[in-house]
Amino acid sequence: MKNKYSIFSLIKNAFSYHEYWQRAWRDPEPKKEYDAIIIGGGGHGLATAFYLAKKHNMKNIAVVEKSWIGGGNTGRNTTIIRSNYLWDASAGLYDHALKIWESLSQELNYNVMFSQRGVMNLAHNLQDVRDLKRRTHANRLNGIDAVWLNTEQVKKFCPIINTSPNIRYPVLGGTLQKRAGTARHDAVAWGYARGADEMGVDIIQNCEVKGIKRKGDSVEGIETTKGFIKSKKIGVVAAGHSSVIAKMVDLKLPLESKPLQALVSEPVKPIIDTVVMSNAVHAYVSQSDKGELVIGAGTDAYVSYTQRGSHDVVEGTLKAILELYPIFSRMKMLRQWGGIVDICPDASPIISKTHIKGLYFNCGWGTGGFKATPGSGDLFAHTIANDEPHKLNADFNINRFVSGDLVDEHGAAAVAH
């Protein structure tokens, strides 16, 4: 049984200099067989295991991770959470996640520092204005909060933005989703890991999958660096490396893996209390609780698994940031990094069964998967447990690329996803 985290446990442990905190999750050796194996110990994979155990009563589950949990894109994103997507299918999917975010800290007994500070999306030309207004209307029809702000209202909401009409891409307005915001990315992985572990899920780190064993049309288990593990159900949540896993069963996915970069500045006093995104000039920024500006850059246009990314992409983003926020012109950037994102042609994810029995894929989240973590885990768990998709992820099946029934969020959500 895990000790409950509370103000009292904090005080109690303070008296012993925080030296006797209970271990948050075990470090088990893999068993011979599991009822389900999740490949990938990021937020989505851990959430999947958590909801399989919690809602579908499957306790004999393993999460295998080639490195340490939350060390991939879960720990590399800019932590933005929003659900103001254009199409009905996406609105359903992302708002399902947002609703879980709203009570996630309580559900996990782990502070994920979810902060509904609002996300503002800027418009810089007439087409942006039309697109964003249309999206606002579509959001409201789907029960998602959204308002249109004119230039003065943008300036009032975030006073440090340069709203001069004389800049290269002037701010003509923007949309605001007040329920949107940020969360602490590592805490999400750790909270789900702790919760899943408590229900008996084995989290096996430093265990790389080398092959998937098949028998006819179904799966039998996985070959790993820690030996063969048997299971009739395998859920793959490997983000940028999804195609690498798919190749083990000769499956081709409609994905391209590209480095996506982010960077943070030196910490400063609170200066921006919301998240501002701009698709047209590709710049988005928020401020962490430590005081660092968290800036999201773009993807490199070519396939690469290098987890670094090109300098010119960062340069382009910072140019746009400086025009929009001249106040940042003398700030120093502290760290820059890249994560490998798997992008679908329609910029929507795949949460789906495959033609191989017992093999499921949750991938293609591209540049915007973090916000969906709880919803993705919940729906993927449903899909694995019932061998059928939930109605909220039915549209995100892999066959949409054959039928042509795409969920095209590329134009709607644009690059800053």
Partner 1 sequence: MFLINCPYCGERDQSEFSAGGEAHIVRPKQPTELSDDQWAEYLFMRKNIKGVQFERWNHSHGCRKWFNMVRDTSNDKIHAIYKMGEKPPIK
Residues that bind partner 1 (CB under 8 A): 241, 243-244, 247, 252-257, 301-306, 308-312, 342, 345, 401-404
Kindly report each contact of residues 57-60 with a partner whose C-beta sits within 8 Å and lies 24 or more positions away, as own/partner. 58/385, 59/35, 59/199, 59/200, 59/201, 60/31, 60/34, 60/35, 60/36, 60/200
The two three-digit tokens of residue 342, written as one number: 């798997």
Minimum gap (Å) between residue 345 Cβ and partner 1: 5
Of 8 and 302, which CB lies nearer to partner 1 in the complex structure?
302
Separation CA 279–CA 284 (nearest Å):
8
Minimum gap (Å) between residue 5 Cβ and partner 1: 39
Of 255 and 277, which CB lies nearer to partner 1 in the complex structure?
255
The two three-digit tokens of residue 119, written as one number: 């996300």
Of 10 and 303, which CB lies nearer to partner 1 in the complex structure?
303
Of 219 and 255, which CB lies nearer to partner 1 in the complex structure?
255
Of 309 and 349, which CB lies nearer to partner 1 in the complex structure?
309
Minimum gap (Å) between residue 148 Cβ and partner 1: 35
Distance of CA 253 to the CA centre of its chain: 20
Pick the closest to residue 180 from 95, 271, 243, 118 (CA basis): 118
How many Cβ atoms are within 10 Å of 3's Cβ, its own excluded? 11
How many Cβ atoms are within 10 Å of 216's Cβ, its own excluded? 8
- Residue 203 DSSP code: E
80-81/181-182 β-pairing? antiparallel
* Residue in this structure with the two tokens 């490195």, named with its chain if needed: 67
Of 291 and 316, which CB lies nearer to partner 1 in the complex structure?
316
The dihedral over CA atoms of 349, 353, 358, 363, expressed in degrees to the nearest 10, equals -10
Minimum gap (Å) between residue 323 Cβ and partner 1: 20
Of 10 and 301, which CB lies nearer to partner 1 in the complex structure?
301
Of 95 and 256, which CB lies nearer to partner 1 in the complex structure?
256
Amino acid, res. 287: Q
Minimum gap (Å) between residue 410 Cβ and partner 1: 13
Minimum gap (Å) between residue 58 Cβ and partner 1: 31
Task: Output phi, psi for 359, to 5 deg.
Answer: -110, 125
Of 70 and 309, which CB lies nearer to partner 1 in the complex structure?
309
Minimum gap (Å) between residue 347 Cβ and partner 1: 13
Minimum gap (Å) between residue 313 Cβ and partner 1: 9
Q: Which residues is 12 bridged to in the sheet?
A: none
Q: Which residues is 287 bridged to in the sheet?
A: 293
Name residues whose C-beta falls within 8 Å of residue 228's C-beta, 6 or more positions apart in sequence: 213, 221, 222
The two three-digit tokens of residue 212, written as one number: 């998937």
Minimum gap (Å) between residue 147 Cβ and partner 1: 36
